[in-house]
Amino acid sequence: MMFCPLGEGAAAGKGLRSAENVAANAAKLKNIKECIKVARTLTEAVGSPEARAIVNDVLKGNRPLSDLKPEQAKAAAEFFKEIAKSTKGKLSEAASKFNQLRADFLEGKTTEVPGALPDYIKRHGLPNQ
């Protein structure tokens, strides 16, 4: 789960008065582009919305991991590893660990079904802020 600064980007192209503002706003736009890219990557990584739905069902424990093709599971695991590295916001530590668990589960490194983030937080005693 990645929290993106989309609200900040709305002003990125308005009222540019100095080189500092231009640089700061360019950085915001770059972050927004990265967020948008990441948000679409799971579907792209696994090849289709249908495969993405299977990944989500597997991660919730509603379907077995064997319902995914090995290359889909590997691609989804790589996606969640990247998300784990880039989570932001007040629950970033929990979200990072949760996404790493998703990757580990898809790679067969753990049998713990990730479920949803709030459930993960309750299971692991992490602060729910």
pLDDT in tens, 39-87: 467 998 998 999 999 999 999 999 999 999 999 999 999 999 999 998 8
75, HSE (Cβ side, Cα atoms, 13 Å)? 16
Residues 87 and 70 sit within 8 Å (Cβ to Cβ): no
What is the structure's pLDDT at 16? 46
pLDDT level of residue 25 (50, 70, 90 thresholds) = low
The rounded distance, in Å, linking the Cα atoms of 78 and 17 is 41
* Residue range 110-127, pLDDT digits in tens: 999 999 999 999 999 876
Residue 100: both structure tokens together: 């790493």
The total of other beta-carbon atoms located within 10 Å of residue 37's CB is 10
